Amino acid sequence: MTAVHESVLDAIGGTPLFRLARLGAGIAAPVYAKAEFLNIGGSVKDRAALSMILAAERDGLLEPGGTIVEATSGNTGIGLAIVGRQRGYRVIAGVSDRSAPEKSDILRAYGAEVVLATTAVPREDPAHLFNVARRLAEEVPGAWLANQYDNLANPDAHVRTTGPEIWEQTGGRVTHFVAGVGTGGTVTGTGGYLKQASGGAVTVVGADPESSSYGGGDGSPWFVESIGHFLHPGTIEDRRPQAYRSEVVDSFERIPDRESLLTARRLAREEGILAGPSSGTAVAAALRVARRLGPDDLVVVLLPDSGRSYLSKVHSDTWMREWGFLEEPGETAVRAALEAADPLVAVPADATVGEAVEALRAAPGGVAPVALARAARPFGVSATELMGSVSREALTAALAEGAAKPDDPLGALVGPALPTVGVGQSVAEARAALAGRAAGGGHPAVLVLVDGRVAGVLSGEAFAD
Ligand code: PMP
């Protein structure tokens, strides 16, 4: 008998499990996916939103007619908008400018006000999304900051609902629980409950982007939104969310972006499950875990949200190719040129003019990208960290004219960013990028992206007929 609800709020939670029969083919341990995209707002965060609002009302933090403010990658805001509007509140969502645009559109559709802010600056910067949200909550009368990262009603939602559901749905046979870690609410609450219910027998595995610092990466950027812990090189005080309790996680599977994104695409094509990129990370991790287990084990992996929010990203072939995540069999010319090219030279944004000139000696074509990060980092330079370019010609001219001294910061000598091309794109697309859009424009070189990171610099000669 299908449920009849008096309110959409009653349709939060109670999600089904689906056996991943095709992705799990040949693996002895069954893998079941907890379909959180079937929540009314399309994500696991509906549970946390409902829990945080009810707790705030109970604690007198949110009064009738009040305003809910939150910093969100999108889904928590959507949950807060649905629950908040049903209960008569104004909802303001500060959304990361890195989040898929679909999520902001969905927020507006539910009646939330959206304020876009950056997460690509140090945590202490007033322009950082978290500080923007905090200021809004201080300035708007009657406002309450939900603060999902430190609000314990977030993990508590999963102790009360997600954990017991999985225990009951598997008849207590679950042996491994796999989930991504954003605020940590899901993994802490669900994993903590399952451990307690099983007398410590359930193993909890965190699914983390390879460079995220939760699982041991350096905190440099990755391309799966809403999970992982990012560390901006300029951040002074790195804080872990209070919603996350690291002792609940027994181990991490560190998943490269390409594996996450391709797994999300396989989920749609092979299992009929259109989910977001963090579901790809979680399933990739669950499959790794399951391969090491036997038929008496049972893996549950949590799929946080729907792929409908990412039709312009992971589920778009164009986007995947532009960032270097997809290579069709036939399109290998750019990769061949890349393999024949000199090693990448990237100049850190905090280099001096003298250091940049020195580095540019080895740069093909005398140009190099300027990146926030140090090129020597294990994961290289993310395309999202590019801040412009420098040319040997311009720097040596500035030094000769006395317009700059070797010890000066690069400052105004940083020129426009070089265009990019994905490694699987065609030579025609690379040439178009080099030619530039503006009439008479044209760039000295193009950056080739592999897995969203700068793999090399190619000048026009690389594509000469
Ligand atoms: N995936 C998606 C798509 C999310 O929106 C979130 C929440 N930010 C997570 C994973 C991580 O969940 P949690 O915050 O509970 O760790």
Q: Which of 214, 223, 249, 278 has most ligand 1 atoms within 8 Å of its beta carbon, as the pocket-test mutant? A: 278
Whether residue 367 is found in the same domain as residue 380: yes
pLDDT digits (tens, 9 = 90+) for 233-288: 889 999 999 999 999 999 999 999 999 999 999 999 999 999 999 999 999 999 99
277 found inside a domain: yes
Please report, as a single letter, which amino acid is at residue 30: P
Give the pLDDT band (50/70/90) at residue 364.
Answer: confident
Whether residue 389 is found in the same domain as residue 313: no
Whether residue 294 is found in the same domain as residue 202: yes
d(CA 225, CA 260): 11
Closest C-alpha residue for ligand 1 atom 11: 182
150 found inside a domain: no
Whether residue 71 is found in the same domain as residue 175: no
Residue 227 Cα to ligand 1 midpoint, Å, equals: 6
Whether residue 199 is found in the same domain as residue 289: yes
8 A C-beta contact, residue 34 and residue 166: yes
User: What b/e readout covers 398-411, taking b as 16+ CB neighbours within 10 angstroms?
Assistant: bbeeeebeeeeebe
Whether residue 212 is found in the same domain as residue 234: yes
> Does 161 contact ligand 1 (Cβ within 6 A)?
no
Domain of 58, CATH number, reads 3.40.50.1100
List, in order, residues 6 or more apart from 201 with CB less than 8 Å away: 175, 195
> Does 256 contact ligand 1 (Cβ within 6 A)?
no
Mean pLDDT of 138-155: 97
1 found inside a domain: no
Residue 54 Cα to ligand 1 midpoint, Å, equals: 20
Range of the structural domain that residue 403 is part of: 323-463
Mean pLDDT of 453-465: 85
156 found inside a domain: no
* CA atoms within a 13 Å half-sphere pointing along the CA-CB vector of 28: 7
Domain of 394, CATH number, reads 3.10.580.10
Atom of ligand 1 nearest to the CA of 305: 3
| Domain stop point among 301, 318, 335 | 318
> Does 280 contact ligand 1 (Cβ within 6 A)?
no
349 found inside a domain: yes
Residue 38 Cα to ligand 1 midpoint, Å, equals: 15
Atom of ligand 1 nearest to the CA of 184: 16
Helix residue ranges, H only, 121-250: 129-139, 153-157, 163-169, 185-197
Whether residue 208 is found in the same domain as residue 308: yes
> Does 73 contact ligand 1 (Cβ within 6 A)?
yes
Residue 116 Cα to ligand 1 midpoint, Å, equals: 19
d(CA 436, CA 181): 40
51 found inside a domain: yes
| Domain stop point among 318, 340, 371 | 318
pLDDT digits (tens, 9 = 90+) for 23-42: 999 999 999 999 999 999 99
Whether residue 54 is found in the same domain as residue 24: no
d(CA 407, CA 411): 12
Whether residue 35 is found in the same domain as residue 50: no
Give the residue numbers marked as catalytic.
Answer: 45
Percentage, residues of the chain above pLDDT 90: 87
Tell whether pTM > 0.85.
yes
Whether residue 79 is found in the same domain as residue 20: no
Q: Which 3 state secondary structure label does DSSP give 71?
A: strand
158 found inside a domain: no
The DSSP line for 1-68 is -----SSGGGGSS---EEE-TTTTTT-SS-EEEEEGGGSTTSBTHHHHHHHHHHHHHHTTSS-TT-EE
| Domain stop point among 281, 296, 318 | 318
Closest C-alpha residue for ligand 1 atom 6: 226
Whether residue 181 is found in the same domain as residue 302: yes
* CA atoms within a 13 Å half-sphere pointing along the CA-CB vector of 206: 31
From residue 327, give the alpha-carbon distance in Å to each of 145, 333, 337, 351: 43, 11, 15, 34
Closest C-alpha residue for ligand 1 atom 12: 182
> Does 72 contact ligand 1 (Cβ within 6 A)?
no
DSSP 271: H
Closest C-alpha residue for ligand 1 atom 4: 226
Atom of ligand 1 nearest to the CA of 278: 1
3 found inside a domain: no
pLDDT digits (tens, 9 = 90+) for 164-188: 999 999 999 999 999 999 999 999 9
Residue 179 Cα to ligand 1 midpoint, Å, equals: 9
Residue 439 clears pLDDT 70, i.e. is over it = no
Whether residue 357 is found in the same domain as residue 457: yes
d(CA 238, CA 26): 42
Percentage, residues of the chain above pLDDT 70: 98
Look at the chain and report how many structural domains it folds into. 3
Q: Which of 186, 302, 303 has most ligand 1 atoms within 8 Å of its beta carbon, as the pocket-test mutant? A: 186
Residue 147 Cα to ligand 1 midpoint, Å, equals: 14
